[in-house]
């Protein structure tokens, strides 16, 4: 083991250097803390309002485009321009006109309202080819700021009257950190919301837009045992939409109506053509079910019945009734044929004339000489009796043999 010893002066010098380094570190830490607190207290704070009131921030929206309405996800996409204006006395200048600032580095050093879109599922600012914003400073410190934003907004659709429905979708704008008593956000007094007149949606048409206010009471500064509650500025832009019926008319109503009318063709098919009528009815029923499943696949699984569900239900009922009508008619006609055979069988027996054993009375009633034989009753050919509607069993009961009938007539003549 080798020990290295340093002179006493060298040891004192090293100790003094460490002490100076520690003092300098403490000074740096204290200076950094001071700078940090100065930064918190002086930078990125909203300017004071007039008469020590809340800072008034006015906003407006210009809707550039709408699209991608998805009933199943209950959302749509919107591309808009957000305009904001407020008064910051610290940004006064001696110029006569408004100064334009288009440098992103300068923008990041200025205080901007912390607005966010409450019901947006996703949002982003545009940075192509440069960050899409502009900022103007007035001589009195008025700040005019605008930026381009694209949102995917959630919209709760009411599909009770689908596809003849009207929808209202809103875009909510709130201040995230500042309560209304610190930063009060309001709409522009003149034309707060406007939209591009060239917007042409394939399924909807915009009836009108409306600038409204919503309830912004929320909890904040939430901890395990406490929280604060106050009112935040809450603005709501509502779009009122009307659904176009053309798509559903071509894709749903016309095909299903044609299928129902095709099922009615079975009424003109012979009732004895059982395979043709059954095949036609079942084919229309399956086709209607397939169309209904394809339509419902694009819609959310709601717990209530829609208007188009009632239409499909009525179409299914008409096709089913056409099939049921054939079943009832077929069953009725089978029973009718059975009863017709029975009536022919027993009705001929009742209409058959009986043999009279008194020849004088028979001659007076029939107006024929004694021994006359009715050729329609007494025939030498059994097949002719059958062609006149008589049954063989009935012919046997009446004396089907022609020879026996002649013997009976001769006996009657001899007795007379």
Q: What is the pLDDT of residues 297-325, one digit of tens each?
A: 878 888 889 999 999 999 999 999 988 88
Chain mean position to CA 120: 20
At residue 237, φ and ψ (nearest 5 deg) are -105, 115
pLDDT of residue 311: 93
Specify which of 152-161, 259-268, 300-309, 332-341 reaches the highest per-range mean pLDDT. 152-161
Instruction: Give 184's contacts (C-beta < 8 A, 6+ positions apart).
Output: 49, 54, 55, 56, 57, 233
Residue 86 has pLDDT above 70, yes or no: yes
> ∠ CA 228-229-235 to the nearest 5 degrees?
135
DSSP string, 192-259: -EEE-TT---SSEEEEEEEEEE---EEEES--SS--EEEEPPEEEEEEEEEE-SHHHIIIIIHHHHHH
The pLDDT tens digits for 170-206 are: 999 999 999 999 999 999 999 999 999 899 888 899 9
Q: Three-class SS of residue 321?
A: helix
Give the range among 87-91, 138-142, 211-215, 329-333 with minimum mean pLDDT: 329-333
Residue 93 has pLDDT above 80, yes or no: yes
Domain ranges (residues) in the chain: 50-244, 248-347, 353-406
pLDDT of residue 6: 39
Q: What is the fold, at CATH topology level, of the domain defined by 50-244?
A: Acetylcholine Binding Protein; Chain: A, (2.70.170)
Comparison of pLDDT for 237 and 293, the residue scoring more: 237
Specify which of 19-28, 29-38, 211-220 reaches the highest per-range mean pLDDT. 211-220
pLDDT of residue 282: 86
Q: Are the C-beta atoms of residues 150 and 132 closer than 8 Å to each other?
A: no
- Say what percent of the chain tops pLDDT 90: 39
pLDDT tier for residue 365 given thresholds of 50, 70 and 90: low
Residue 36 has pLDDT above 60, yes or no: no
pLDDT, mean of residues 157-179: 92
Residue 103 has pLDDT above 50, yes or no: yes
Q: Do domains 50-244 and 248-347 have the same CATH topology?
A: no
Q: How far apart are CA 315 and CA 317, in angstroms?
A: 5
Comparison of pLDDT for 351 and 233, the residue scoring more: 233
pLDDT of residue 226: 92
Chain mean position to CA 239: 18
pLDDT tier for residue 8 given thresholds of 50, 70 and 90: very low
Closest among 178, 170, 153, 157 to 213, alpha carbons compared: 170
Q: How far apart are CA 39 and CA 33, in angstroms?
A: 10
DSSP state of 46: P
Q: Domain spanning 248-347 has what CATH number?
A: 1.20.58.390
CA atoms within 13 A on the CB side of 384: 9
CA atoms within 13 A on the CB side of 228: 8
**Residue bearing tokens 């001899």:** 414
């Amino acid at each position: 083991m080798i020990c290295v010893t340093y002179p006493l002066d060298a040891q004192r010098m090293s100790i003094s250097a460490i002490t100076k380094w520690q003092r300098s570190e403490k000074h740096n830490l204290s200076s950094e803390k001071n700078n940090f607190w100065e930064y918190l207290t002086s930078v990125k704070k909203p300017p004071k309002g007039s008469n020590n009131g809340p800072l008034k921030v006015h906003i407006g929206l210009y809707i550039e485009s709408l699209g991608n309405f998805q009933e199943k996800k209950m959302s749509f996409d919107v591309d808009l321009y957000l305009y904001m204006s407020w008064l910051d006395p610290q940004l006064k200048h001696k110029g006569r006109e408004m100064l334009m600032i288009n440098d992103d580095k300068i923008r990041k050093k200025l205080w901007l309202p912390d607005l966010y879109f409450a019901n947006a599922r996703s949002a982003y600012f545009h940075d192509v080819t440069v960050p899409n914003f502009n900022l103007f400073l007035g001589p009195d410190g008025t700040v005019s700021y605008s930026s381009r934003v694209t949102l995917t907004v959630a919209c709760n659709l009411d599909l009770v009257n689908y596809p003849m429905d009207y929808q209202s979708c809103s875009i909510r704008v709130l201040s995230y950190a500042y309560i209304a008593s610190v930063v009060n956000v309001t709409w522009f007094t003149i034309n707060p919301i406007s939209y591009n007149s060239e917007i042409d949606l394939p399924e909807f048409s915009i009836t009108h837009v409306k600038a409204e206010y919503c309830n912004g009471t929320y909890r904040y500064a939430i901890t395990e045992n406490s929280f604060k509650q106050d009112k935040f500025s809450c603005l709501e832009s509502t779009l009122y939409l009307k659904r176009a019926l053309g798509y559903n008319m071509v894709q749903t109503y016309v095909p299903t109506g044609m299928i129902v009318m095709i099922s009615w063709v079975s009424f003109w098919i012979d009732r004895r053509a059982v395979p043709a009528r059954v095949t036609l009815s079942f084919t229309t029923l399956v086709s209607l079910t397939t169309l209904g499943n394809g339509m419902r696949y694009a819609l959310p699984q709601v717990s209530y019945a829609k208007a188009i569900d009632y239409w499909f239900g009525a179409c299914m009922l008409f096709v089913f009734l056409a099939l049921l009508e054939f079943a009832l008619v077929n069953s009725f006609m089978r029973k009718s044929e059975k009863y017709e055979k029975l009536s022919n069988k027993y009705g001929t027996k009742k209409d058959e004339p009986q043999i009279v054993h008194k020849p004088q009375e028979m001659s007076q009633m029939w107006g024929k000489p004694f021994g006359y034989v009715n050729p329609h009753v007494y025939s030498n050919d059994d097949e002719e009796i059958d062609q006149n509607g008589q049954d063989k069993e009935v012919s046997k009961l009446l004396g089907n043999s022609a020879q026996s009938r002649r013997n009976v007539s001769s006996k009657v003549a001899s007795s007379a």
